[in-house]
C-alpha cells in the first residue's frame, strides 16, 4: 500500500513539474530582449525590447524608461518564425519618426533565442540582433 502511494506521489510530482515548465515557456516572444542595432558594424546602439502576450496580441516597449517607445504593431509568423514590429517615436530633434523592424527567430528551442533582422526609422536603415534574457 505504501509503495503504491509513493509511486502515485512521484508520478503526480513529476507531472506537475512538467506542466509548470511548459506553462512558463509560453509565447516565443515573451520576455526581455537585449542587443544592438545600427546602420554599420561600427555604429551600434544598445537596445532593450520587452514583449508580452495577452492570448491574442503581442505588445511591449522598446528601451523602457523616459524615452521608451511603445510597440504599436507586432506579428509573428510561426510557420517561418518571422517577426514584424512597428513603433512611433521622436528623433533627437523631437521630430516624429516611425520605426519598423523585420526579423527571424533562431534557436527556437533555447530560452536564450535570438531575433535578427533589419531595422529602419526615417531615412536610417540598418540591422539588429537581440537575445532573450
Does some domain include residue 21? Answer: no
Domain coverage including residue 112: 29-132
Does some domain include residue 103? Answer: yes
The total of structural domains in the chain comes to 1
Does some domain include residue 11? Answer: no
Does some domain include residue 9? Answer: no
Local confidence band at 13 (pLDDT 50, 70, 90 cut-offs): very low
Q: How far is the C-alpha of 6 from the C-alpha of 32, rounded, in Å?
A: 40
Ramachandran angles phi, psi of 4, nearest 5°: -65, -45
Model confidence over 45-57: pLDDT tens digits? 999 999 999 988 9
Does some domain include residue 67? Answer: yes
CB 124 within 8 Å of CB 39: yes
Does some domain include residue 6? Answer: no
Model confidence over 102-113: pLDDT tens digits? 999 999 999 999
Does some domain include residue 61? Answer: yes
CB 30 within 8 Å of CB 111: no
Model confidence over 56-84: pLDDT tens digits? 899 999 999 888 999 999 999 999 999 99
pTM of the model: 0.77
Does some domain include residue 109? Answer: yes
For residue 57, give the CATH number of its domain. Answer: 2.40.128
Q: Which DSSP state fits 2?
A: H
Amino acid at each position: 500500500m505504501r509503495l503504491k502511494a509513493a509511486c502515485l506521489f512521484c508520478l503526480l510530482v513529476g507531472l506537475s513539474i512538467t506542466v509548470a515548465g511548459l506553462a512558463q515557456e509560453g509565447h516565443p516572444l515573451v520576455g526581455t530582449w537585449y542587443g544592438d542595432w545600427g546602420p554599420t558594424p561600427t555604429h551600434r546602439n544598445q537596445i532593450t525590447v520587452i514583449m508580452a502576450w495577452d492570448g491574442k496580441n503581442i505588445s511591449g516597449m522598446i528601451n523602457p524608461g523616459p524615452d521608451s517607445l511603445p510597440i504599436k504593431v507586432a506579428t509573428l509568423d510561426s510557420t517561418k518564425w518571422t517577426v514584424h514590429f512597428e513603433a512611433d517615436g521622436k528623433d533627437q530633434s523631437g521630430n516624429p519618426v516611425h520605426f519598423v523592424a523585420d526579423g527571424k527567430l533562431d534557436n527556437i528551442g533555447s530560452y536564450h533565442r535570438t531575433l535578427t533582422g533589419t531595422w529602419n526609422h526615417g531615412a536610417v536603415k540598418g540591422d539588429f540582433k537581440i537575445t532573450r534574457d
